[in-house]
Amino acid sequence: MQTTLIPFIGEIFAQLQKVADVRILAEIRDRQITGVTGSELLVMVRKARTFIASKKLKQGDRCGLLATNSIRWIAMDLALTAEGLIVVPLYSRQAPAGLVAMMKDCTPSMICCGDAALRDAIAQAWPEVPPQHLFDEIFAGVEGVQLARPQVGNQSPVKIIYTSGTSGEAKGVVLTAANVTFMLERTSERLDQLMAGSSSQDRIFHYLPFTFAASWIALLTFLKRCSLVTINTDLTKIANDMRTIAPDYFLNVPQLLERMRRAVDEQLWQTGGAPLTIYSRAKGAWARRQDGKPELGDAIWLWLANKLVFPAIRKKMIGKNLKALICGSAPLNPETQLWFMMLGIRVLQVYGLTETTAICTMDDPDHVEVGRVGPAIAGIQMKLGENDEIIVRGPNIFPGYWNRPEQTAEALRGGWFHTGDQGEVNAAGNWRIAGRIKNLIVLGSGHKISPEPIEDAIAKKLPATAQIVIVGNGRGYLSAIVTGGVLPETVQAALDAVNLDLPHYKQVRAFVVRSEPFSIESGTLTVNGKLKRDVIAAQMKNEIEDMYPVKAAV
């Protein structure tokens, strides 16, 4: 096979050479911001490539990349890809046993580790581990390799990203150079639209792990655009770092936006006085406007808030430069999206899976519909299959799972990728995600129910709760597991309010409160923060049985 430098790698290197003296990456550590220019990043890449070349690995060999977010992670990823290796990014916060299972599955020839602690944890869990090399060793060498050395073709695999595994074992999603090249064109086009009219370098704050497909695609897009990306290295300092950087936009998950909203409410309640009065009245006026039921005086309260309160919230929360928040990984609560809109902040949603090179839809910055995730990106096809399942085909679809031909055939049957997500699309082409098909609860009556909308409705009534999980498969009615510090009487009041708007078979008739939230560490959440429903059901089998006494189930 004739080989050339991978198109997206070649383009990123060319762009970095154009901004040789411009800072394009920075990271915040202990309140200190350090960074590199385009030329300095290329030096790091050359050093890493020289080290890799000395190991005499074969094209297509796998290489584990185990480290936290950093500039060196980025240089290592670019170097490995440019050298024709398949990069296997590994989430540093995941338990060593899970990481070892993934590596045994893909059999890497080499593992690049960010620090000794990560290296030693893997070695302890896997005595037969392949050679591990620390970043300190890799970047301490010389830079003897030319950047433009041809390596692999455009159809070659460049990444194996392991899925979160909400049920069963995680699978390695193979992505090709062609998948990535296509996707970077789409994401760049959308950011061009968002930043239309701006002649300055984009400023971006980034905190999501590069091991996630969407985060990695975003990173490559930023490099292609020669943006200034500042990396958060301490998740406990996200709020302070956001204000320090004052970004134009950045990628988010719904949980952070929910926390930001709650923090503003709590702070204003503590502050009290005129700001709280104006804010509270404006919130009510905004809600009535969305419902089409404005009252006399609403316009005045909104005017006052836009003059005196909302600008201060925006500046204190995110800074003065923000053009939009970009949100993915899970559906965002429409109320939260509306709340940010009230403040004058656009929230653009993105939908996709690792198997679709992270993205299927992206909100149009000029035509956002609340509660929807935008239209399908140009060049792909999306439609509804059986049970309203979203199915997709196009250049973004992965070629298959690593060493799993049967599961690949099942996912790609009929020439379409079956996402497992339920959805709907309106006349404008904007999609809405209803839930996961495998999460469907089938009651003993035969009614099929998606739990996510009910969980979201209850969560709106219980802002203090951590998670809500609806159960009831094969039972006579639905029940709920509620986690966090919430009183039973508060839960019952919330259920009573939600049940009023639901048909009888969707009403939640019992619940149990669990003080300890579900977590990644307990194995009940994926690394993306999604519920592992099967694991939860197994761990809480007794509590679930208690919600279905025999006489009530008859």
pLDDT at residue 551 tops 60? no
Residues facing residue 176 across a β-bridge = 157
Residue-level pLDDT at 5: 63
Pull the structure tokens for residue 271. 């502050």
Mean pLDDT (whole number) for 137-158: 80
Write the pLDDT tens digit of every residue in 271-310: 889 999 999 999 999 989 988 888 888 999 999 999 999 9
Write the pLDDT tens digit of every residue in 194-220: 998 888 999 999 999 999 999 999 999
Q: Do domains 7-248 and 254-320+322-437 have the same CATH topology?
A: yes
Residue-level pLDDT at 331: 78
Residue-level pLDDT at 550: 59
- Whole-angstrom distance, CA of residue 53 vs CA of residue 481: 53
Residue-level pLDDT at 87: 97
pLDDT at residue 3 tops 70? no
Pull the structure tokens for residue 375. 């239209």
Q: What is the mean pLDDT of the chain?
A: 90
Band of residue 4 on the pLDDT scale cut at 50, 70, 90: low
Residue-level pLDDT at 142: 86
Residue-level pLDDT at 149: 67
| More confident site: 95 or 340 | 340
Indicate the burial class of 177 (C-beta count within 10 angstroms; 0-12, 13-18, 19 or more).
buried
Statement: 440-553 belongs to CATH 3.40.640.10: no
Question: What element of type H or E holds 348?
Answer: strand 346-351
Write the pLDDT tens digit of every residue in 478-487: 999 999 888 9
Indicate the burial class of 203 (C-beta count within 10 angstroms; 0-12, 13-18, 19 or more).
buried
Residue-level pLDDT at 11: 92
* Residue whose entry in the numeric block shows the structure tokens 């620090």: 115
Q: What is the CATH number that goes with domain 7-248?
A: 3.40.50.12780
DSSP state letter for 202 = P
Q: How large a percentage of the chain has pLDDT more than 90?
A: 64
* Residue whose entry in the numeric block shows the structure tokens 């990123």: 12
Mean pLDDT (whole number) for 80-107: 92
| More confident site: 480 or 3 | 480
Whole-model pTM: value is 0.86
Write the pLDDT tens digit of every residue in 359-373: 999 999 999 999 999
- Whole-angstrom distance, CA of residue 60 vs CA of residue 270: 58
Residue-level pLDDT at 38: 97
- Whole-angstrom distance, CA of residue 163 vs CA of residue 169: 9
Q: Which residues make Cβ contacts (< 8 Å) with residue 146, sequence separation at least 6?
A: 46
pLDDT at residue 52 tops 90? yes
Q: How many helices (H) and strands (E) does the chain have?
A: 20, 24
Q: At the top level of CATH, which class does the domain 254-320+322-437 belong to?
A: alpha beta
- Whole-angstrom distance, CA of residue 420 vs CA of residue 535: 19
| More confident site: 549 or 230 | 230
Residue-level pLDDT at 168: 56
Pull the structure tokens for residue 333. 């609560």
Write the pLDDT tens digit of every residue in 389-412: 999 999 999 999 999 999 999 999
* Residue whose entry in the numeric block shows the structure tokens 């404006």: 282
Q: Which residues make Cβ contacts (< 8 Å) with residue 545, sequence separation at least 6?
A: none
Write the pLDDT tens digit of every residue in 492-527: 999 999 999 888 889 999 999 998 999 877 888 877
Residue-level pLDDT at 34: 96
Strand 110-113 relative to strand 132-134: parallel, antiparallel, unpaired? Answer: parallel
CA angle 393, 394, 398 (to 5 degrees): 85
Q: How large a percentage of the chain has pLDDT more than 70?
A: 96
- Whole-angstrom distance, CA of residue 170 vs CA of residue 106: 12
- Whole-angstrom distance, CA of residue 379 vs CA of residue 483: 42
pLDDT at residue 88 tops 80? yes
Mean pLDDT (whole number) for 213-240: 94
Mean pLDDT (whole number) for 327-332: 84
Residue-level pLDDT at 554: 32
Q: So where are the chain's domains?
A: 7-248, 254-320+322-437, 440-553
